Amino acid sequence: MLTVGGLFSGIGGIELGFEQAGFKINWSNEIDENCAKTFKFNHKHKLIVEDIIKINFKKLQQVDVLTGGFPCQAFSVAGYRKGFDDARGNVFFQICRAIEELPKKPKILVLENVKNLKTHNSGHTAKVITNSLRDLGYSVMWNIFNTSVHTDIPQNRERTLIVCFLGERDWEFDFKKKFSSRKFSDYLPLSRSKTKKNFRELLESQVDEKYYYKQDFYEYKTLKEYIKSKETVYQWRRVYVRENKSGECPTLTANMGTGGHNVPLILDELGIRKLTPRECLNFQGFPKSFKFPDNVAQSQRYKQAGNSVTVSLVKRIAEIIKKVI
């Protein structure tokens, strides 16, 4: 059975997708204590709750696949030159350190980030990432996936996934030969799934009244003015309301639970309400069995769901990886 190690794991969405595709998870790493609570509540494998800088990867079990949804930060020329010697350096270089320190280099890397990573810092960030991974012996493919296109979940969520295979740099040609494309995103169907869910299928049947907006809410009149239909998902952008006429959920974000910004809203028989944290997990493809522990605050639940990946998308990518190797 192919094995996986996870970095910057959050609540373990990437690991769960690989697990559903038949991979074994050997270990994961996450620094955030709140994410660790949710992770441990739902996963059985080893979680290292530690700053990645402090991890000795030489002592960890070997894995075939190394994954990570790493933070997006600017790369300075000085930081790139200092590389691993600079403890304050970009966390991406810690991924490179992990690759070199593990007993053997992983056969495959799957790295997730925001859609605009490739243009971040005028393209310098992508250049450093690509060159660093190629120097370590990997073929590097950049792909942008959208949850609403590549899965049956109606969330408009575009993300960059960098898929790398250990081997010669002309591996892209071999991949093209096998799959008639050098991009994973081309191999996955770009048309909508015939089994696309209606967003209402992902809503809870009973919702606590605390998720509903009351008339004393300072912007209640604005919400009531714009939110008229029960057949769409709206987005509260702090100063205005935007209707998603496609019937899809807007991109879930980490700050959904910290104020009025980027909050998905719906209208039902009882009034105007925000999506619940459980519903946010549904829009990220998490199974019903995945739960938040009671000691994780509501704001943290929204943050964790918004920061996660779409599990069903990761599962599809993992299934393709199994075909390749």
Catalytic residues: 72
Q: Annotate 64-123 with DSSP letters as a single string.
A: SEEEE-PPP-PPPHHHHHHGGG-TTS-THHHHHHHHHHSSS--SEEEEEEEGGGGGGGGG
Q: Annotate 81-92 with DSSP letters as a single string.
A: HHGGG-TTS-TH
Collapse the DSSP code of 37 into the 3-class scheme (helix H, G, I; strand E, B; otherwise coil) and give the result.
helix
Give the number of other CB atoms < 10 A from CB of residue 19. Answer: 20
Is 17 in contact with 78 (CB distance < 8 Å)?
Answer: no
187: left (phi over 0), alpha (psi -120 to 50) or beta: alpha
For residue 111, give the nearest of 90, 130, 86 by alpha carbon.
Answer: 130
Identity of residue 62 = Q
Identity of residue 260 = G
Token pair for 163? 């898929």
Identity of residue 167 = G
